[in-house]
């Protein structure tokens, strides 16, 4: 573990294999995310250096890129992947324009989201609140796919595939030589976050797809992960879906305020998290249930 700046720490992902590198970004200036982090990755193959996600701002990517001089000096092509368009995953894209230009790859829906009016409005709001975002420019991926895309890096193969659920534009990355799955925000401890009712059934299908891959190593963006976490996250969603299906009336707004009470699924049943992040996840749990209820009572 090496501290690279006030907010970014480097750590190896797999013991004894320096090809997979984690860059962990904390949020010391954002109170609502106390105790949390987001991971980006650099993966060094014979042919490519692949950056997976660009964190919060161009300055974050500058920190990451300063560590990769030797790997790039030997002639490897630099490629950038966005797992999805959320602010903590794609707002550092602006680093890779102009003189430092590199191809950015993502699901086509990620491009659409980054080019949307909503994304620009969110950026304006965040820029008013936090100096972190002052140099962010929304930079859309220029190479997109809809189902999957494979890059042959010689020693490592990168299969990027649609993994909708957390968001509709989410992707995951599979490296068969290592049986390594980069799940990004599709899985998370204690549970994944839905951003809309449209994500409920896709997330179930995505988690089933992950299990079918039978990964040996699993990484995700906001917590530690393994195959058991995929199973646990799938159980979580399926349990909530089953309980929400039992609600036969259209929930009132007052009931939706306490959605976990309505379907008798308290936060403590799914998490023993008592860290700084628990307030965040308590709220996320209520929102998840509201989205699941919406699939029955739109």
Residue 47 CB neighbours (<10 A): 15
Q: Which is nearer to Zn ion, 71 or 88 (CB)?
A: 88
Kindly tell me which of 170 and 265 has the beta carbon lying closer to Zn ion. Answer: 170
Sheet with 180-184, side-by-side order of all strands: 148-152, 157-162, 171-175, 180-184, 217-220
Nearest approach in angstroms of CB 26 to Zn ion is 13
Length of the chain: 298
Return the half-sphere exposure (C-beta side, CA atoms, 13 A cut-off) of residue 294. 16
The residue (of 21 and 25) whose beta carbon lies closer to Zn ion is 25
> Measured at the alpha carbon of residue 238, what is the angle toward residues 279 and 180, in degrees to the nearest 5?
80
Minimum CB separation of residue 83 from Zn ion in Å reads 8
Q: How far is the CB of 53 from Zn ion (least distance, A)?
A: 9
Instruction: Take residue 277 and report the two structure tokens written for it.
Output: 């992040």
* Closer to Zn ion by Cβ: residue 220 or 234: 220
Cα angle, residue 164 at apex, residues 190 and 237 outer, rounded to 5°: 40
Within 10 angstroms of residue 12's Cβ, the number of other Cβ atoms is 14
The sign one gets for the Cα dihedral 285, 287, 291, 297 is positive
CA angle 153, 169, 212 (to 5 degrees): 65
CB of 86 to Zn ion, least distance (A): 5
Q: Shortest approach of Zn ion to residue 194 CB, angstroms?
A: 13
Interface residue list for Zn ion (CB under 5 A):
88, 185
Residue 284: CB minimum distance to Zn ion, A? 11
Measured from the CB of residue 184, what is the shortest distance to Zn ion in angstroms?
7
Give the C-alpha separation, 8 to 26, whole Å. 7
Q: Which two tokens stand for residue 154?
A: 């010689």
Quick one: 280 exposed, middle or buried, by C-beta within 10 A (0-12, 13-18, 19+)?
middle
| Residue tagged 């989205």 (tokens) | 291
Q: Which residue is nearest to Zn ion (CB)?
A: 185
Nearer to Zn ion among residue 45 and residue 221 (C-beta): 221
């Amino acid at each position: 573990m090496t501290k690279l700046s006030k907010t970014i720490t480097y750590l190896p992902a797999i013991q004894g294999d320096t090809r997979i590198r984690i860059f962990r970004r904390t949020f010391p200036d954002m109170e609502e995310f106390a105790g949390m982090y987001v991971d980006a990755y650099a993966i060094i193959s014979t042919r490519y250096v692949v950056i997976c996600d660009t964190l919060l701002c161009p300055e974050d990517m500058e920190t990451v890129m300063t560590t990769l001089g030797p790997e790039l000096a030997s002639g490897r092509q630099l490629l950038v992947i966005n797992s999805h368009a959320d602010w903590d995953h794609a707002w550092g894209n602006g680093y890779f324009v102009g003189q430092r230009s590199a191809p950015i790859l993502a699901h086509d829906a990620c491009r659409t989201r980054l080019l949307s009016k909503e994304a620009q409005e969110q950026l304006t709001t965040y820029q008013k609140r936090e100096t972190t975002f002052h140099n962010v420019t929304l930079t859309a991926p220029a190479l997109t796919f809809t189902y999957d895309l494979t890059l042959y890096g010689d020693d490592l193969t990168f299969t990027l595939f649609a993994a909708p659920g957390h968001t509709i534009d989410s992707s995951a990355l599979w490296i068969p030589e290592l049986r390594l799955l980069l799940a990004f925000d599709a899985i998370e401890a204690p549970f994944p976050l839905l951003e809309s009712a449209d994500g409920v059934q896709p997330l179930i299908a995505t988690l089933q797809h992950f299990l079918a891959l039978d990964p040996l190593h699993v990484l995700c963006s906001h917590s530690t992960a393994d195959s058991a976490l995929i199973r646990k996250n799938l159980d979580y969603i399926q349990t909530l879906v089953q309980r929400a299906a039992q609600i036969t009336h259209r929930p009132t707004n007052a009931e939706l305020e306490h959605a976990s009470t309505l379907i008798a699924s308290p936060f403590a049943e799914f998490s023993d998290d008592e860290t700084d992040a628990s307030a965040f996840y308590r709220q996320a749990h209520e929102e998840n249930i509201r989205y699941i209820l919406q699939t029955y009572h739109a």
